[in-house]
Structure 1
Amino acid sequence: MYKSGFVTVIGRPNVGKSTLLNQVIGEKISIISDKPQTTRNKIQLVYTEENSQIVFLDTPGIQMPKNKLGEYMLKISKSTLEEVDVVTFMVDDSMEIGTMDNLIIEDLKKISTPMVLLINKTDRLTEEEVLQLIDKYDKMDMFEDIIPISALNNNNIERYIEVLKSKLPEGPQYFPEDMITDQPERFVISEIIREKALLSLEEEVPHGIYVSIDGVKERENKDIIDVFANIYCEKDSHKGIVIGKHGSKLKEIGQNARMDIEALLGSKVNLQLWVKVEKNWRERENKVKYFGYK
């Protein structure tokens, strides 16, 4: 019997959703940073075994929207709750349940989809603290399973997978066994560049960063791929920050991104980056849609 199904992973920003899914899949597809709004799209990641296939939906962290982009991100996070076979709600090691988690819990109470709770970053807690957290969530009587994990250390992830497989319905293999994401190659490349920008830049700038790929071209008779990309920011003052003194910051972003892109494509890469300004694009619905957030 072949089992398959769809699983959404939701939670506040920075609880470790993308780290978890990259561990499960075994490759870095969802970008990771300690800044909110790192994940903007609904990304499908595919985990396939001999007799089962789990299609994970990595969604943006749920938080109150501050602009049109934030409204889009909140909408797609909530829209997945009743589209799937299992909902995974991820929290971190905070001993008190915060306001945003409570708001998510209120939304979860409205659905009948089976739910699994993951308590992440438990490597930072004592065994007694972990048990206290499990008990606190167990008293809500909402979750079929509560699993403490450390996504960063790949701890207890196998148990999570086994729990999911037990809940999947009988079904077809939705994607080829060698496919790990529904996202096109250009999207993954743009996300790698955006991740490196998030990691390199100051707090104010990254939220307004968008990366577009103008071209990916393999050179004839040479084992090298040319990648042409634009980094958009929202203010003229931000453009200088992204470029850095004598181009140092842009060079840092490019060097770090190139290594990951080479690993993705299995080839040497010549990465060309340009920085452009699209003023206040996150506030403008037409620009949010133009950049692919629909």
Structure 2
Amino acid sequence: SIFSKLKNENINSAIIGWAFPYDRMYDNYLVKNKYYPNNKFIMRSLKQRYIDLFLFYFLRPLNKLTMQKYNWIKKHIIKIVKCEGSLLYEVILARAKEIITDSSINFSFIHFSIPHPPIIYDAKKQKISTKINSYIDQLQLVDKTIADIKNTLIKDGSWDNTTLILTSDHWYRQVEWDNPIFHELITVTDKEREMLKNRKETLIPLIIKMPNQKKSISYDKAFNAVALHDLVLDIYNNKVSNEKDLITWLDNLDDNSRKPNQDISCSHFLK
């Protein structure tokens, strides 16, 4: 894994994330590992809430009168799911701030759940909310979170010396957000849907900030995000030190590193 290779180079690593089996896979190579508390119980609970919603809407013979009569149950279930999603986000953010300001840690892997549903942010009020909002609200929470991470590093005095890689384990999935089963939890407005139609390719976001970088640079050549594994190792081996080195490194990728991967996920990067 990337963590075992970094450990061989005497690089201290840490992971913050949600309900994935990090502990069973990487703990031997980490100096700090903080996951969402009781994640097995919480994720079972979240899963059960989705099942409850499914049963409530489709498998129970409820007529219109019954739906109105038991509308409070539906609202209660939705509120529970969104509250647990909010707690998940807040715990990961708090623990992320801990490890990025820990001078003993050289490499931090932080896995947020956003912009995954349920939607937990009200962009107009700029606060976590259990009310029904849209996909764009959730994206604005991503922006807010990045700004929060940046400000934490600035306050710590380590922003200029930090390399930051921001990406995603998959692209926007139209089918998931158009799913009528959970429309109270995942909402896409007509305006957003029209805008998203312009995306013809399954692309993921990628932003890389190098140490002391002051100006942005756009890179338009195609490459596979799995190459980030080797990039991280080369950064720690001082082969990539600034944005010019990064452009050269990307230009020199072989053909295999430029082919699209139909099953791209964070697990590829971690191997």
TM-score normalised by structure 2 residue count: 0.28
Where is the strand percentage greater, Structure 1 or Structure 2? 1
Whichever structure has more helix as a proportion of its residues is 2
Q: TM-score, normalised by structure 1?
A: 0.26
